[in-house]
Each structure stands twice: as C-alpha cells, then as structure tokens.
Amino acid sequence: MILISPAKRLTDKTSTSLLASTEPVFKKEADILASELAKMSTTELGSMMKVSENIAELNAARFKKWNETSASEKRAIFQFEGDVFKHLGAKDFNEDEIVYLNNNLRILSGIYGLLKPSDEMKPYRLEMGTKNNFNGAASLYEFWGDKIAKKLMEELGESVLFNLASEEYFSSVSKFLNKDKIINFKFLSISNGKERVVGVIAKRARGEMAKYLIQNQVKTTQGIEKFSSIGFRFKEFSNNCYTFISS
C-alpha cells in the first residue's frame, strides 16, 4: 500500500482513462462534515482555514452546493493537481498501471478520510490539521479518531505501507498503525553545503517515488534503492526509512 496526501489545487479537466468510478468508504462522514461547513459564513470559513477571501468564497460555495455538485471529472486521482500528483502522472499510466495504482495507492483526506484513486470526489479544500467544532469533535484528528487507520489495516493485511504522505496527514493514522510495517521516505537536497528537506522538491520526489513503486510493482523493500528520478540518489536505509539525496 502506498499512502499520499491530497493537494490543495484541483482541476476539472477530464481524463480519458477507463478507470471506473467508485464510492468513497467514508462518504457518510464527508457529507456530515460538508453539512457542518455549509453553515459557516465565508468570513468564518476563511478564518478557520487561514486562506484568502477568494479561496474562502470558492470553498463556501462548494460546501453550500455539496449535494448539487456535478463536476465533469469525478475520480479523485484525476482532480488533484499539486506537485505530488503532477509527478505521479496518473493520466499517463497504461491500463495495467492504472489497475495497480487503484489497488495499491490511497489518498488521505481531511473531508473524505481515505480515498481510492477511483473514488468519486466532490471539489473541496479542508486541511487535516484544521481545528473547529466538527460534529462535536474539536479537530479533524479527533473527528476521524482511528477510523482511517482501521480501514487502512483492513486493506493492508500483512503487506507493508509505503508512507509518502506529509506529517500533517500521516499523523491522523500513525499512532494506530504497526510501526514495523511502515516504510518511510526522506528526500534531502544540498543547499549551501548543508543537507535539508526543501518542501517543493520533496513533494515532487514523493510523486516520483509513488510512480516508481507503481510502475515497478514494488511490494517489498527490495529495489527501492534503485530509485533515481529528478537527480536523487540513494543515501541510506535506517530505522525503516529510506533517505535519498539530490545535489
């Protein structure tokens, strides 16, 4: 299983992929959250989300028209447009790769909890770290509790989990999972003679790694060290974490 975070940017451009759409496992919970958010004013939403007035207006309209939304592209994997998804490049996958992607990749989500690539998703923006009164919970972490992790464990079985999600999103499941089954990744860049994580570059690398794992159907830790996209090379594997470095 490969785990990634969602993106803030979305597109409504349709993909020609024949991937059949599916219903999110936590659709009921998403509808509850959307209903709560629809009651908020644009100002309240902007303050809670810490976004500009334009973005607040866009999302206020999305939540208020939640049950009327009829986006041309419904499948989650083709709506997200951030760096991770651009470098994953699902729109360019062949049929076999799309099938493997849908079976083995999951997207964490503030409003949907957990999405399969094929799941029908309504346009939204809601970061997992958001704090507010969500149906009696003080934050989205509290709202979701161990629900997402339980579903992940059910799908994982005895397999390993390749964690390519951000800390904000992985925190929603990490404390409930068996750490021995989690393989983490760190992508370092050399800047001014020092090794450090550069956010934008690390996001691109996570997308490239997800693509590598899917196209090579990697199911164990064997072969991961051969990853060499966008200038990265293997540095070390320690404490269940692969570290790659780019100069």
- At 53-103, the pLDDT tens digits run 999 999 999 999 998 877 788 999 999 999 999 999 999 999 999 999 999
Going by pLDDT thresholds of 50, 70 and 90, the confidence category of residue 15 is very high
Whole-number average pLDDT of the chain: 95
Radius of gyration for the chain, computed over Cα atoms and rounded to the nearest angstrom = 18
pLDDT in tens, 181-233: 999 999 999 988 899 999 999 999 999 999 999 999 999 999 999 999 999 99
Average pLDDT over residues 122-151: 95
| CB-count exposure of residue 138 (10 Å: 0-12, 13-18, 19+) | exposed
Q: CA separation (Å) from 23 to 56, 200, 206?
A: 27, 31, 26
Given a contact cutoff of 8 angstroms between Cβ atoms, the answer to whether 22 and 42 are in contact is no
Task: State residue 193's pLDDT score.
Answer: 85
Predicted structure pTM score: 0.95
**Triad 202, 204, 76: Cα angle to 5°:** 120
One-letter amino acid of 22? T
User: Does the structure show a pLDDT above 90 at 153?
Assistant: yes
* 1 contacts 170 by C-beta, under 8 angstroms: no
10 Å CB burial of residue 42 (0-12, 13-18, 19+) is middle
